[in-house]
Structure 1
Amino acid sequence: MDTIINWFEIPVQDLERATAFYEAVFATEFRRESMSGMEMAIFPHTKPNPGGALLKSDAFKPAAQGTVVYLHAPDLAAMLERVVKAGGECVFGPQELPDDIGTFALIVDSEGNRLGLHQPV
């Protein structure tokens, strides 16, 4: 097993708004899917790498507390600028991590979810 991470879902209230936010921050496009009454916008990924999605469902609600997912940030400074322009908030960072692990920041997305962005060395 190369990684224990398989899939993640970020709950959203407004899928269009959230998709526009993440597409702007990551400068990419998401694929749309729906199944079992859930609407999703899928983060770009290639198999066998882990993937994830924005998820709109009555069973899941955005939250500012709880698990924090850290997403890869190839250019953290540029992404933090796009976070603010896209309607999000930078809570703190960028902050250097010890032992050449990289730099990270904590943000709040357009839906009120708290997420991390990590730029490896």
Structure 2
Amino acid sequence: MSKVSTNQPLGTPTWIDLGVPDLDRAKAFYRALFGWEYEERSAATGPFTLCLLRGQRVAALRHVTAADADADAEGESWWHVHLATDDCDRTAKQIVVSGGTVLVPPADVADLGRTAVVADPTGARFSLWQGRTLAGCELVNEPCALVRNDLACPDPGPARRFYATVFDFTLDGNDDLPGFDFTFLRRPDGHEIGGVFGDPAAPASRWQTVFEVADTDDLVARAVAAGGTAGTPEDAPYGRMAAITDPFGTSFSVITRPSPAS
């Protein structure tokens, strides 16, 4: 378990949110999966729902029309990741200089923080998060909370250069996945924040979200019972994983990691 109460270093995945066309149905689905409770808030951009795990804020849901849902060019929906910054406006400018795009300019989200929606040169969308009263996800790396984000894209070279330039990441290979084009992204302090996975068959570049769960097989059964779909659980080098799709077509993954003693 990791509790987070201060702003994360530059470039760290620190917050996630999701736009859905039916907020009540989304709340019921994610409650069935993760046991989340909810807190309603509002901002200049409209109302939103904070997702709570044991009273700690771990994600947000936003109501959007079906036409405005968080779908990429291929029509697929994904949880939206926010990367930490201590100066949202300055980082947004650096993104443009480095070949990216600002899709929604910096704006305050109530008293929680300041954010901007951007895209890297490969088209992968993400947001920036400058925390104020909300540093980001207050629980991570435990069941029913965020554990990892990775970028999958058909042409990883420009993406690697972009994130190394904007966030000062170093790039390292991964010997645990021979035969796969995977590069770790590490902060200057050496902390691994995720990676870039080159997949020539990928239809678009996307930041993918992984939630930790206590039992992947049980979670798959609950996802299907709650109206979602799921792939077959598989053992991977870092744990037992499965792909999940919520009732609105939003894709994410879950993983049960080995216990430290195993």
TM-score by length of 1: 0.79
Distance 1:70 1:62 in 2: 17
- The question of 1:27 aligning with 2:35 is answered yes
Name the structure 2 match of 1:41. Answer: 49
Name the structure 1 match of 2:207. Answer: 67
1:1-121 mapped onto 2 (5 Å cutoff): 4-45=12-53, 51-57=58-64, 60-63=68-71, 64=76, 66-90=206-230, 92-98=231-237, 101-121=238-258
Residues 60-98 of structure 1: CA distance to partner in whole angstroms, max 9, x if unpaired? 5143253321112122121111101110000x2311112
DSSP 3-state at the match of 1:87: coil
Residue identity over aligned pairs, in percent, reads 26
Q: Which runs of 5+ in 1 are unaligned?
A: none
Q: Which runs of 5+ in 2 are unaligned?
A: 1-7, 78-205
Q: Which has the larger radius of gyration?
A: 2
How many positions carry a matched residue from both structures?
A: 116
Residues 15-39 of structure 1: CA distance to partner in whole angstroms, max 9, x if unpaired? 1010110001113322222322433
Distance 1:9 1:82 in 2: 21
Aligned amino acid, residue 82 of structure 1: R
CA deviation after TM superposition for structure 1 residue 50, in Å: 8.0
Distance 2:246 2:254 in 1: 11
Aligned amino acid, residue 120 of structure 1: R
Distance 1:75 1:40 in 2: 29
Runs of 4 or more consecutive aligned structure 1 residues displaced over 3 Å after TM superposition:
57-60
Distance 1:102 1:87 in 2: 25
Q: CA RMSD in A?
A: 2.6
Distance 1:88-1:29 versus aligned 2 partners, 3 A rule: same
